[in-house]
Amino acid sequence: MQRPVLTFSRNVFLPLTTVCRNRCGYCSFRTPVQEGCIMAQKEVEQTLRHGALMRCTEALFTFGEHPEEEPGFNAYLRRIGYATILDYCKAMCTRSIAYGILPHTNAGILTYEEMKQLQPVNASMGLMLETTADIPAHTTSPGKDPEVRISMIEDAGKLRIPFTTGLLLGIGETRADREDSLFAIRDIHRRYGHIQEVILQNFCPKPGTQMAAFHVPTTEEIGTTIRMARDILQNDIAIQIAPNLIDASLLIDCGVDDLGGVSPLTIDYVNPEHPWPAIDDLKKIVGNNTLRERLCIYPQFIEKGWYHPDLQPLINRLAQTIKAGSS
């Protein structure tokens, strides 16, 4: 009997800015506009260079949603020679490709045209749905409107962008809300076929936030949601959990396919108090199952050619490198 395969991506995490228009009740990632609020190109390139030496294949570019809406931010952008954060992101994605690492951008709400602009320099993109429920944690966060997020995920499908989405568990939603969110993702994928993975991420309370004392989802709750997702979602969608946020070894048998992006170099800037496990620790987590490295664009989308032609040489080279390393 063939052992189940669990995958992961070796990445570097690059938060180009933590300035954000949203004010989520659980977030400590967001910071105010101030000196140093934009990651310097020198630091980006140093991270990419070291990441390439450590055989990283994915550059996860993130930034706070619509930071230009925050007073004073544009002055810092102009100082580094860019008109928009999207222009800066595209330039850094281009540098990532030059270093031999495939970009994956998760930048909050983007329009169809903005995603189209980034598409030539991204192998995949993402946006967490989080929940379809109207919850207090999102009251002051216009970008967390479920309809807005669903619309962007659909636009990514229209553009044939291999896409990551997911649920944030424990932020005030009910079990019925989780089910509704999974059905929403299923229906989008049925129409466009572009969702490659769904992250089921447990909420982690942060000191100093509105939800610092909020209930934390139990391992049993997470397991129930994983099984629900496996029943609802199509078989070609991978179910991912974060091995730095929960004891993943207890959840593998619930239907987990993937352990996400794990960095040997950079921290998880969203959850800095939770360090990534080492690659050898991932092997222990999967137990008797098979652990296999992957790219940020899944094999079925490589086969379909759902990427810009300029990315093909790098995708082929990295795919061959991973294949050789696992043989």
pLDDT tens profile 193-222: 999 999 999 999 999 999 999 989 999 999
Nearest Cα to Cα of residue 246 among 292, 291, 201: 201
Residues 26 and 203: beta-carbon distance below 8 Å: yes
Which fold is adopted by the domain 5-326?
A: TIM Barrel (3.20.20)
- pTM here is 0.96
With residues binned 3-state (H G I as helix, E B as strand, rest as coil), the percentages for the chain, rounded to 5, are 40, 15, 40
245-301 pLDDT per residue, tens = 999 999 999 999 999 999 999 999 999 999 999 989 999 999 999 999 999 999 999
Residue 5 has pLDDT above 80, yes or no: yes
Per-residue pLDDT band at 1 (split at 50, 70, 90): very low
Per-residue pLDDT band at 2 (split at 50, 70, 90): low
290-302 pLDDT per residue, tens = 999 999 999 999 9
Distance in angstroms (rounded) separating the CA atoms of residues 81 and 33? 17
